[in-house]
Chains A and B, each alone.
Chain A
Amino acid sequence: MTRSPDFPSSLDDTEQPLRVSRREMIGLITGAFTAGPSALAIAQGAPRRGGVLKVAAPANPSSLDPATGGAGTDHVFLFTMFDTLVEWEYATLQARPGLAESWSFTDPKTMVLNLRKGVVFHDGTAFDAAAVKFNLERAKTAPRSNIKADLATVDSVEATGSHQVTLKLNQPDAALPLILSDRAGMMASPKAIQALGNEHDRKPVGTGPWRLVNWSDGEKVSVTRNEKYWKAGMPYLDGIEMQIIIEVNTGLRSVVAGQNDYVYFLSPQQRAIIDRSKLGANSGPTLYCVQLYMNYGRPPLNDVRVRRAINHAIDRESFVKATMAGLAEAAWTQLPSAHWAFDKSLVNAWPHNIDTAKKLLAEAGHKDGLDLNLIGYTDQRAVQRQEVLMEQLRKAGFRVKFTNGSIADMSAKFFAQNGDGLLSAWTGRPDPSLTFSLMYMKSAYFNAGKAEPAPELTAAILASRASTDIEVRKRELSKVMKIISDQALVAPLFFQLELDAHGKKVQGYRTNLLGKPKFENVWLSE
């Protein structure tokens, strides 16, 4: 089943992980979460080449062409077959070289990428500047491209050498390197795209560690080793078979029974089964933030006092215990504590206090309480969250009514200016500036009320994209988050943890903060 990238098919099914130490992990999260026997463990012994990893995947890909797909769950498949121009550090999402060996901004509006030499696509054609130009231009202009907006700041792409491309930008954009670690940076063979046309959706040709063998719709995606892979000695696995099992309980059963080796996107409630079955578990923080989006472009939520009242009324610790069995990190901004730009001064920005909430509501002229029309989803876990939220808000005088439907439809409904708020999630973006641009700028899609942001917020968001100096960016991003927190433009609830289960022979898996599993480091013991 496909889903919108920002609104997963259920609010429980994203993942993300990153490898951190057990102590760090415990520090990171609230509640009684503890890692399982092999959770986060560093694999013992030297990696061994060979073997086929069998994975239970919870969704059929929407497309295996990075430019034409639309589901957030596609990345797990795409990462096996495509390399990105830029990669990220698993633990922090800081940019690192990928197919581009290096990059620089020769001026704020010019980005030069130096490409890796000796890389070939699975069809044997060379990866070079012409291929990058072809891919980026296709992403910007092809009618079926779903990622035109990602490259909105790119005016033109020039091949300025056999292995160098220069991007001319219409405004400074330090988020671009990490944008190129996502779909837009996945390079496909121009020859294959021209030859196959739309069929490239089903027969993708990239440069990744594995190449496609077969995609049997709704059943299985199989990939096999790319013998000409540019990373020496990689990958370890001869192949991966991803069996599509939409129902995660069934997926987990398939691992318990030994039919599959790995299952991801599990819910916290499945932790007990993993432990009971003596499977290994991988878990780690993710960017996936469950939150209440607010339409602050119109009454009653255009009043900052009402928005602050909502945030003070929410008891995040209890919320996490009640809905996530304690396996989540309470959220105060859209960045989790493991992120490089996290600002710890924002923790507990809105202490849970019913009296404060009531007082703020009364000051806003709602002494007798306030009706809120919220929008949500119909799956069981979403409804459970709604019930807890309704009860917490009720204590402060809010009378909440939810209208529910499918994820795609209800999200579209809210962002077309219906309802006061939407209880949903933000699945995160590799670059935090992109998150804030997409959510708070005046014309941003996720600014449902299209309200004019405070000038200092706009300035700080733009400044966070303008500099490539990480310390400057941290400072500007901190400013952004403080303004959002002060204005209470959103009510973040918690960051979901990735939870995966695996059989005993699976080694070397590393969680990542983006929460989309990559199997490049995985190997199978004897």
Chain B
Amino acid sequence: MLALDRWKLIGWRLLQFVPVIVMATFIVFGLMQLVPGDIAVTLAGENPSAARIAELRGLLGLDRPLLAQYGHWLWDALHFDLGRSMLSGEPVLQSILKRFPTTLQIVLMALSLSLLIGVPMGILAALRPHSRVDAFVTSVASLGVALPNFWLAMLLVSFFALNLGWLPATGAVDFLKDPAASLKSAILPACALAAGGVAEIARQLRGSLVEVLSSQFVRTLHAKGLSPSAILWRHGLKNVSVNLLTVIGLMFNRLLGATVVIEAVFAIPGVGSMVVASAIQKDFPVIQGVVLAMVLIVISLNLLIDVLYTIVDPRVGRA
């Protein structure tokens, strides 16, 4: 029964993918039209005449009606053809596939760091609310939220890369080619990204855990003679896991967005730097391609989180 509910949920969500993707890519396409600028002017080279710019617009298909341009892109995308960059001529799909693992690696490392540090901090603070430990965790969390990640990134580079020379200051290494060097080059960007994540996880976990641990059923468990650790691990954490999953899902999406800044600071050739460069130049096939990839990732992750909800809290699936 439960399994059937889960499959229905997955099927329903998959159906929702189609309008979400179409709407998201169309809105981004529409927004790009509102941004001033014309890629044909950029491409036209020296002293471009109006005729030369018009000729280029024709060559690039920019003289067609907007709906025709979007429709053409969508049709090709449905056939797994995301076109080529108008600036560099590189196939967009190839660029995304090449760059995405780098971005994903940083995001996953940042997420893991956030969990590894944030979860123990949150538990410690929740076990002794209003104690010194709690005050310390709250202070660290506030600092983590308040520090801009690009600033923290520059401090980390200055200290660990430029002064101590322990870690590289810029760039990324392919994980498959050299895993050790790849992890080494991703540590600083992941740490810079993780600061906010640690703070968020610690605060959210502390808040919900304090609430659960002070609820009546926990009092009953104490009365039954269950050990504090059994209460925490078997009952407390299980009850806050839905909250934690929600935070993780939201955080993943936000970390993905934050790579736009972090990749610039560390000169990392990921999708974040790619989308910035293409947005500035109005390279619409690239923007559309990256947006499509991002939307797919975000909604797939949301689906995964929803499915996980049904596992950790069976009531969700039935609701």
Verify that A and B bind, or say they do not.
yes
| Chain A residues packing against B (C-beta within 8 Å) | 1-6, 56, 60-63, 69-70, 143-144, 146-147, 149-150, 198-199, 201-202, 215-220, 243-247, 250-251, 253-254, 256-260, 277, 405-406, 408-409, 412, 416, 438, 445-446
In the complex, are the beta carbons of A406 and B37 less than 8 A apart?
yes
List, in ascending order, chain A residues with CB within 8 A of B192's CB.
none
Given known contacts A2-B42, A412-B41, A243 and B267 CB-to-CB distance under 8 angstroms = yes
Interface members, chain B 255-309 (any A CB < 8 Å): 264-267, 269, 273-274, 277, 280-281
In the complex, are the beta carbons of A60 and B87 less than 8 A apart?
yes
List, in ascending order, chain B residues with CB within 8 A of A219's CB.
99, 269
In the complex, are the beta carbons of B90 and A217 less than 8 A apart?
yes
Q: Is B95 an interface residue (CB 8 A)?
A: yes
The complex places the Cα of A61 from the Cα of B161 at a distance, in Å, of: 28
Q: Would you give the shortest CB distance from B37 to chain A, in whole angstroms?
A: 5
By beta carbon, the residue of chain A nearest B167 is A257
The complex places the Cα of A70 from the Cα of B37 at a distance, in Å, of: 16
In the complex, are the beta carbons of B277 and A259 less than 8 A apart?
no
The complex places the Cα of A253 from the Cα of B44 at a distance, in Å, of: 33
Q: Is B162 an interface residue (CB 8 A)?
A: yes
Q: Would you give the shortest CB distance from B97 to chain A, in whole angstroms?
A: 12
In the complex, are the beta carbons of B168 and A257 less than 8 A apart?
yes
Q: Would you give the shortest CB distance from A260 to chain B, in whole angstroms?
A: 8
List, in ascending order, chain A residues with CB within 8 A of B62's CB.
none
Interface members, chain B 53-82 (any A CB < 8 Å): 53, 55, 59
The complex places the Cα of A356 from the Cα of B73 at a distance, in Å, of: 60
The complex places the Cα of A250 from the Cα of B38 at a distance, in Å, of: 28
List, in ascending order, chain A residues with CB within 8 A of B168's CB.
257, 259
List, in ascending order, chain B residues with CB within 8 A of A144's CB.
59
Q: Would you give the shortest CB distance from A40 to chain B, in whole angstroms?
A: 26
In the complex, are the beta carbons of B281 and A250 less than 8 A apart?
no
| Chain B residues packing against A (C-beta within 8 Å) | 36-38, 41-50, 53, 55, 59, 85, 87-90, 95, 98-99, 157, 161-162, 165, 168-171, 264-267, 269, 273-274, 277, 280-281
Closest 9 CB pairs of A and B: A146-B45, A70-B45, A257-B169, A219-B269, A445-B47, A245-B267, A254-B170, A217-B90, A408-B41
In the complex, are the beta carbons of A5 and B46 less than 8 A apart?
yes
Given known contacts A217-B95, A259-B168, A408 and B42 CB-to-CB distance under 8 angstroms = yes
**Which listed residue (A1, A5, A63) contacts B89, Cβ 8 A?**
A63
A and B contact pairs by CB, cutoff 8 A, 26 listed: A1-B281, A4-B48, A60-B88, A60-B277, A62-B87, A63-B89, A69-B45, A146-B44, A146-B45, A147-B45, A147-B46, A217-B88, A218-B277, A244-B267, A246-B264, A246-B277, A253-B162, A253-B169, A254-B171, A256-B169, A257-B157, A257-B161, A257-B170, A260-B170, A405-B36, A412-B53
In the complex, are the beta carbons of A446 and B47 less than 8 A apart?
yes
The complex places the Cα of A409 from the Cα of B48 at a distance, in Å, of: 12
In the complex, are the beta carbons of B46 and A4 less than 8 A apart?
yes
List, in ascending order, chain B residues with CB within 8 A of A438's CB.
47
By beta carbon, the residue of chain A nearest B50 is A416
List, in ascending order, chain B residues with CB within 8 A of A149's CB.
46-47
By beta carbon, the residue of chain A nearest B85 is A217
Q: Would you give the shortest CB distance from A470 to chain B, in whole angstroms?
A: 25
List, in ascending order, chain B residues with CB within 8 A of A6's CB.
46-47
List, in ascending order, chain B residues with CB within 8 A of A62's CB.
42-43, 87-88
Given known contacts A149-B46, A254-B170, A2 and B41 CB-to-CB distance under 8 angstroms = no
Q: Would you give the shortest CB distance from A138 to chain B, in whole angstroms?
A: 15
The complex places the Cα of A146 from the Cα of B98 at a distance, in Å, of: 30
List, in ascending order, chain A residues with CB within 8 A of B49's CB.
445
In the complex, are the beta carbons of B45 and A5 less than 8 A apart?
yes
Given known contacts A253-B170, A257-B162, A218 and B269 CB-to-CB distance under 8 angstroms = yes
Of B55, B98, B169, most buried by chain A (CB within 10 Å of CB) is: B169
The complex places the Cα of A424 from the Cα of B46 at a distance, in Å, of: 15
Q: Would you give the shortest CB distance from A302 to chain B, in whole angstroms?
A: 23
Q: Would you give the shortest CB distance from A176 to chain B, in whole angstroms?
A: 16
The complex places the Cα of A88 from the Cα of B264 at a distance, in Å, of: 36
Q: Would you give the shortest CB distance from A124 to chain B, in whole angstroms?
A: 25
List, in ascending order, chain A residues with CB within 8 A of B87's CB.
2, 60, 62
List, in ascending order, chain A residues with CB within 8 A of B171's CB.
243, 254, 259
In the complex, are the beta carbons of A143 and B267 less than 8 A apart?
no
List, in ascending order, chain A residues with CB within 8 A of B45's CB.
4-5, 69-70, 146-147
The complex places the Cα of A515 from the Cα of B15 at a distance, in Å, of: 57
Additional A-B contacts beyond A218-B277, A243-B267, A445-B49 (18; CB < 8 A): A60-B88, A63-B88, A144-B59, A146-B44, A147-B46, A218-B95, A245-B267, A246-B277, A251-B267, A253-B161, A254-B170, A257-B169, A409-B36, A409-B38, A412-B38, A416-B50, A438-B47, A446-B47
The complex places the Cα of A409 from the Cα of B282 at a distance, in Å, of: 12
In the complex, are the beta carbons of A70 and B170 less than 8 A apart?
no
